[in-house]
Amino acid sequence: MTHLKTLAAPRSMKIPRRGKVFILTPSPGPHAKSECVSMGTLLREYLGLAENRKEIKHILNTKQVLVDGRRVKSENYPLGLFDVVSILEIEKDYLMLVDHHGRLYAKEINKKAAEHKMCKLVNKTMIKGNKLQLNFYDGKNLLVDAKDSKKYAVGGTAVLKLPELKITDFLLAEPGKTVIVAKGRHASKMGKIVSKTGSDLNLSSLTTLDCSGEKVITNTAYIYVISEKLYDLGTKL
């Protein structure tokens, strides 16, 4: 199904619930359906660059849209947190972020920022040839030498150069590092890691943050380490 009723759309979509009856649904991909929006929704409902599907398809078919530096042709392409979208015709770039309700929105960024992407490392896999495969939250995979395994800790963030996906920096999820909360009651808050607790069979790992003097405790899985040099995001999005 390429569309769904607006009233039944996931909370991640920052759209009016009244007006249009249907909205384009994201296709299966790297992001969970509840954590993404479709390319068509971005172009029509978010940015106002199209009024109908015919105009959406025209924009996509004329090679005007890039995601993470690569061309996208599908109106149902799923866009999630920290995806970098470039609209060539209007020469604008956007970063997908979440607001305090956990809903995705597009923040305009400059060209220099659009040349990089922050990718959270979710797990690592050893493969043949003494290589280590890094698996990121958005489905991307990169190979590095196995000897560098300790350098790339799960939960940290790789800064990738676009579109070649070359790692230019890696940010560990450790005390003092700046993070954004992506889900839960503290969604969109930005602060520095104070401490982290371990997890057991019944409890998830928790992280304590200092958000401009406010003490925030959230699920460790909800935080994303970010590069303050790369994006000027402010203290609350």
Q: What is the CATH number of domain 115-171?
A: 2.40.50.740
Portions of the chain given CATH number 2.40.50.740 = 115-171
CA distance 15 to 232: 25
| pLDDT tens across the length of the chain (237 residues) | 465 555 455 555 665 555 554 567 888 888 888 888 999 999 988 899 999 999 999 999 998 899 999 999 999 999 999 999 999 999 999 999 999 888 899 999 999 899 999 999 999 999 998 999 999 999 999 999 999 998 999 999 999 999 999 999 999 999 999 999 999 999 999 999 999 887 665 567 899 999 999 999 999 999 999 987 776 654 333
d(CA 234, CA 12): 21
Q: What pLDDT score does 7 carry?
A: 45
Question: What pLDDT is stored for residue 237 in this prediction?
Answer: 38
Q: What pLDDT is attached to residue 18?
A: 55
* CA distance readout (Å), 155 to 138, 148, 160, 179, 221: 13, 16, 16, 11, 8
pLDDT at residue number 32: 82
CATH hierarchy code of domain 3-109: 3.10.290.10
Asked if residues 143 and 200 have their Cβ atoms less than 8 Å apart, the reply is: no
CA angle 204, 231, 27 (to 5 degrees): 60
Q: What is the pLDDT of residue 158?
A: 96
Domain with CATH 2.30.30.30 in the chain: 178-225
Q: How many CB atoms lie within 10 A of CB 188?
A: 21
CATH fold of 178-225 reads SH3 type barrels. (2.30.30)
C-alpha to C-alpha distances, 127 to 145, 146, 151, nearest whole angstrom: 10, 9, 17
